[in-house]
Structure 1
Amino acid sequence: MSCRDRWGQRPYSKVPGSEDARSLGLSQRMRRRRRGDDPGSAVTGPPESPTPSLLEPRVARPADPRRIRTEEIFRASRFAEVFTGIHDFDMDEPEEDYPIFRMTFTTWVFLAQFPIPSYARWLAERGSWAADGFHRRTMQHFNWQRRQRFPEHGGQWLLKMPFHLMELDTSMATCPDALFIQIHREPTQFMGSWNSLVERIRSLNSDRVVPSEVGAEQLSFMSRMLNRGIRFRESHPELESRWVDVNYHELVCDPMAVVEAIYGRFGWPVTRSTVNEMTGWLGQQAERRRRETRHQYTLDDYGLTHAGVDAAFAGYAKFLATRNYVHDMKPMLTTRCDTP
């Protein structure tokens, strides 16, 4: 999700120098270029999200206490080991900004971390407006710091977290100029991957993680989130110009073409140096992925079937079928390309 917001509307306070954009949500694959490569955009990394202060980009900072603390947490919690081949963590790369949302204890993020159905029911009734408001104020603070240090840098914040889809009305109320970049993938493919990720996350917090329970719970949660997201879009056709829909397989096969389409759609300038940085990063990742252990999973591992997943996401699938900008995904499952 991308947001160009004046940040001066009530109930949120005005922050000096905060007229630039905020962006939330690119695919992790597209966001994970080195911080500072594109002066027209800004991202957060692992050391920043849990703290109120940005790190200095393009500077050697091994002694920064926030960096040291984050590295200690990663080692103690076995992050690198647990998420190998699923979600790589790098201290010098962008990362999802979910720690900001967790500080309010009113966020859908916790549904991936813990099996807490009573909390899910409570949050569904209450809503996550407090988390979105806190996130906005945090980003205002980051933006003010950024403008003080780098007044020549304009552009938007590029952020990513899937749970925005659960309450798009709240996201739009908090960030009324939001732009959204939504990646679409066949549910029977991403549910296996998502369940594997959730299982790994919960293994950090519990000695008892039952895959079949994870599968049933997350099928209900994820289908509800995506179906709810498309219902919001269907009820607000006037906002469709705010969306770019990306086929996951096109992103994998030709990521730079997808970048060009996104930048073109939103009128974002892109420099040759930015393109070179992105292309170089993709080349490094291609080599890295050839060496790493690949992520293996099936729906059956989590007690799910193709028919059951298709039924749960029927509303989402119908929405995609009616949109000309999203190609039929199933034929693309046989696409052959070099995965970066």
Structure 2
Amino acid sequence: MTAKVPDRDTMVAEAKAKAGLDDFGDTWFFAHIDALIPALNGEAKLSEAGAAYARETIVTSLVNRLRFVEMFKQHPEINDEKVEVAAVVAGLPRTGSTMLHRMLAAAPGMTGCRWYETKNYVPFPGEERGNPEPRRAEAKVLLDYMCQAIPELMSIHPMDIDQPDEELIIMGQLFSSTMIEGTFFVPSFARWLMEHDRIQVYRDLKQILKLLQWSDPSRKGAKWVLKTPGHLMGLDGVIEVFPEAKIVMTHRDPVQTVPSYSSMMANLYSMVSDSITKEEVGAVWIDRLAELLNTFVAEREKVKGRNFIDVRYTDQLSKPVEVGRSVLEQAGITVTPEIEAGMAEWIEANKREDRAPHKYTLEDFGLSRAQVEEKFRAYREAFLEKAPA
């Protein structure tokens, strides 16, 4: 028997009691929770610790939603914030999107969602505006625990509470991003998400960016750089809600990305389940990553490639500042010497050789090179065997 999470009503009541609030605003995401719970209680094969974590994740997400709605009630001026998104970095996981995102966000006049903000995007009760120390302290405790639980984590995906990270963590708290399937083995829920509306979460994300901007006056006038491979699932939402943004697609051969990401997923699943095999991980994620790429190609074709920028992984490694300059210029940003210096400083401070190597093979996950090459043949021919547009 696997451990279970309770029904939605139980967790909603728990969140209301914890927050001392009862207004969730639009409850569109309740349907997502209802679709998620059966997957958690079945195919996720949760351990006792995993079920406790899943419950805590859902309740904490609901508490953040309650506090979010309350913040807008208490401070309606947040709605006056003007959010400008210069670029949205997408691409399959393990394609260098994190490196590109953080380098761009490090440039003067640019900003991104910091890791501690993605975990708690609403200031804690009583938190002084512009002084997020309570949230930073909680994030540090959590990150320390994660590094102890998964010693390989910093090699796989380096994190720092103050570094820009993926807003998919925020969107996951609305049960509408690939964060859920990246934390729990729930392929049926991933399928459900693909078959339902993926735009509303971006409308809510824009409101959350307004709150983050208002909460940190140092961001005044800055342009946002967003990033998550999960945006591949919702590019229609990106295009509708952030029409001015350039969509930056990072490209790397799936022969490398599929085993790398499968290794990351196997490590994360081990925190919540004792019985998900590497072969199960490989079988699910080779198909899922191919589906995300197919969605990207379809959405790109709908807009005839408008606002899309292609970046190859090999170019990021060999000439990162040049790539960053090109992306910013195409996004309409005047690249000053200060901006170039900011990107160069980030690269110098975050060299790959300063981290332990991340080791993996396709065969670890029951996959073969020929299998991956065939699955991604069309993508490889279109984007890896010709010069980027």
Normalised to the residue count of structure 2, the TM-score between the two structures is: 0.70
| Structure 2 match to 1:15 | 79
Q: How does 1:220-231 map to 2 (within 5 A)?
A: 220-231=287-298
The 1-side partners of 2:354 and 2:331 are apart by 36
1:19-98 map, 5 Å: 20-21=84-85, 23-25=87-89, 27-33=97-103, 37-53=106-122, 64-77=133-146, 78=148, 81-98=151-168
In 1, Cα distance between the equivalents of 2:384 and 2:116? Answer: 41
Q: Which of 236, 249, 259 in structure 2 is aligned with 1:169?
A: 236
1:182-225 Cα shifts (integer Å, max 9, x gaps): 11001111111111111111122222231111001000100010
CA contact 1:15–1:144 (8 Å) conserved in 2: no
| More helix, by proportion | 2
Q: CA deviation at 1:19?
A: 5.2
| Distance (whole Å) between structure 1 residues aligned to residue 270 and residue 329 of structure 2 | 42
Match among 250, 270, 273 for residue 338 of structure 2: 273
Query: 2:347 maps to which residue?
Result: 282
Shift, 1:271, TM fit: 2.3
Amino acid at match of 2:88: L
Equivalent position of 1:234 in the other structure: 301
Using the TM superposition, name which of 14-23 and 302-311 deviates more.
Answer: 14-23
1:133-152 residue CA offsets vs partner (Å, 9 max, x unmatched) = 32122112223445xx248x
> Structure 2: where are the runs of 5+ without partners?
1-76, 91-96
Select 2:176's aligned residue among 106, 109, 112: 106
Question: Are residue 207 (structure 1) and residue 271 (structure 2) matched?
Answer: no
User: CA offset at residue 67 of structure 1?
Assistant: 0.9
Letter of the 2:303 partner, please give it.
H
Q: What SS does the aligned partner of 2:310 have?
A: strand
Structure 1 residues 20 and 120: alpha-carbon distance in aligned structure 2, compared to 1, 3 A threshold: closer
Letter in 1 for 2:286: L
| Maintained 8 Å contact 1:102/1:110 | yes
Aligned to 2:65: none
Is the contact between residue 81 and residue 210 of structure 2 (CA under 8 Å) also seen in structure 1? no
The answer to whether residue 247 in structure 2 is matched with residue 180 in structure 1 is yes
TM-fit CA distance, 1:132: 2.2
Task: After TM superposition, give the deviation of residue 285 of structure 1 in Å.
Answer: 2.2
Contact preservation (8 Å) 2:168, 2:178 = no
Q: Secondary structure at the match of 1:159?
A: strand
Code of the residue aligned with 1:109 in structure 2: it is M
> Which runs of no fewer than 5 residues in structure 1 stay unpaired?
1-12, 327-340
1:316 to 354, 358, 379: 379
RMSD (Å), alpha carbons? 2.8
Partner of 1:337: none
Deviations 1:97-129 (A, max 9, x none): 222111111323212222213212322222333
Indicate the residue corresponding to 2:308 in structure 1: 243
Which deviates more, 181-190 or 87-96? 87-96
Q: Is 1:34–1:92's contact at 8 Å kept on the other side of the alignment?
A: no
Shift of 1:53: 4.4
Structure 1 CA distance, aligned partners of 2:387 and 2:276? 41
- Please tell me the residue identity of whatever aligns with 1:136: K
**d(CA) in 2 for partners of 1:222 and 1:19?**
30
Aligned sequence identity (%): 25
- After TM superposition, give the deviation of residue 18 of structure 1 in Å: 0.8
Contact 2:108/2:342 (8 A) holds in 1: no
**Structure 2 CA distance for partners of 1:167 and 1:20, relative to 1, 3 Å:** closer
